Copies of this chain bind each other. A is one copy, B any other.
Amino acid sequence: MKTLSIGMFDSGVGGLTVLKEVRALLPQEHIIYFGDTARVPYGNRSPQTITKYALESALFLLTKGIKLLVIACNVSSAFALPILRKRFPIPVIGVIEPGAKEAVRCTKRKRVGVIGTKGTIQSQAYERSIKGLDPHIAVISQSCPLFVPIVEEGLEHDDVAYLMAEKYLTKMRHSRIDTLVMGCTHYPVLENVISHAIGKDVQVIHSGRETAKEVKETLKKRNLLNNSGKGGCEYFVTDAPETFKDIGSRLLGEPLKHIKSLRNMDIKDFLLSS
């Protein structure tokens, strides 16, 4: 069991910022990453569709032999975590609970901000998770729909990033929060811009980083840590591997290798054929 892989999935490249943190913390583990690039983005799909896509992604990873599953996607974690936990016999970790837990630990004034895609913000998953841990915390939320295309276009140092951060975060800056959760896997790339707009006195939480800690703790608790592995990563995408490689290498901070494409094949067909 210990030598099995960690499975991670996301709608596209965003989850690579989570993978980066898991690798940094657990360099001996082997990771299989699945990016559903034929159907990205999930952010403005319906909860039913997101759940269906998440189930298909998780099933694909299970056929590869994994000991733990990470939902490296905020909106999938928001909607599909309960059903994946119920259906699958391995530990399943989403990005929302770890981010929420860290926000609760950090906030002194009991005022937390959350930013994410429309789907994640509308789901109110962070709000529920934070209030489940401490009902006295006020949660102020804001969707920032242009942040993902800005990151994917490599415009994180451009005027447009600062302009949009200013627009999205001005109201929140005046709301007296002392902690801000980046509830989208793309946002860590904009961490400086976000920090600049919200003010240096606000603690910015990287959900992916907290998720990595949770992964380590869970594997440790279950005696599943791989202490003898060389570590490594393998990537599967459902479309456009070249784009995944280009944008993904920027998100990961190093060149992506070993990308396999399931292009032009339904995940269902793949499951049947493998």
Q: How far is the CA of A191 from the CA of B226 in the complex (A)?
A: 57
What's the least CB distance linking A237 to chain B, in Å?
A: 10
Task: Report which A residues bind B (CB closer than 8 A).
Answer: 37-39, 44-46, 48-49, 52, 145-146, 149-150, 152-153, 155, 158-160, 163-164, 167, 239-240, 243, 263-264
What's the least CB distance linking A73 to chain B, in Å?
A: 16
For A44, what are the chain B residues with a Cβ–Cβ distance below 8 Å?
A: 240, 243
Instruction: Describe A's contact surface by its main secondary structure.
Output: loop
Q: How far is the CA of A48 from the CA of B242 in the complex (A)?
A: 14
For A52, what are the chain B residues with a Cβ–Cβ distance below 8 Å?
A: 264
For A240, what are the chain B residues with a Cβ–Cβ distance below 8 Å?
A: 44-46, 49
Contact of A39 among B39, B149, B167 (CB under 8 A): B39
What's the least CB distance linking A150 to chain B, in Å?
A: 7
Which residue from chain B places its CB closest to the CB of A243 in the assembled complex?
B44
Q: How far is the CA of A39 from the CA of B42 in the complex (A)?
A: 9
Q: Name, among A45, A150, A155, A263, the residue most crowded by chain B CB atoms within 10 Å (CB to CB).
A: A45
What's the least CB distance linking A218 to chain B, in Å?
A: 32
What's the least CB distance linking A55 to chain B, in Å?
A: 12
For A163, what are the chain B residues with a Cβ–Cβ distance below 8 Å?
A: 159-160, 163
* Interface pair A48/B263, CB less than 8 Å apart: yes
Q: How far is the CA of A239 from the CA of B51 in the complex (A)?
A: 13
Contact of A146 among B49, B150, B167, B264 (CB under 8 A): B150
Q: How far is the CA of A153 from the CA of B164 in the complex (A)?
A: 12
For A39, what are the chain B residues with a Cβ–Cβ distance below 8 Å?
A: 38-39
Q: Name, among A49, A152, A263, the residue most crowded by chain B CB atoms within 10 Å (CB to CB).
A: A49
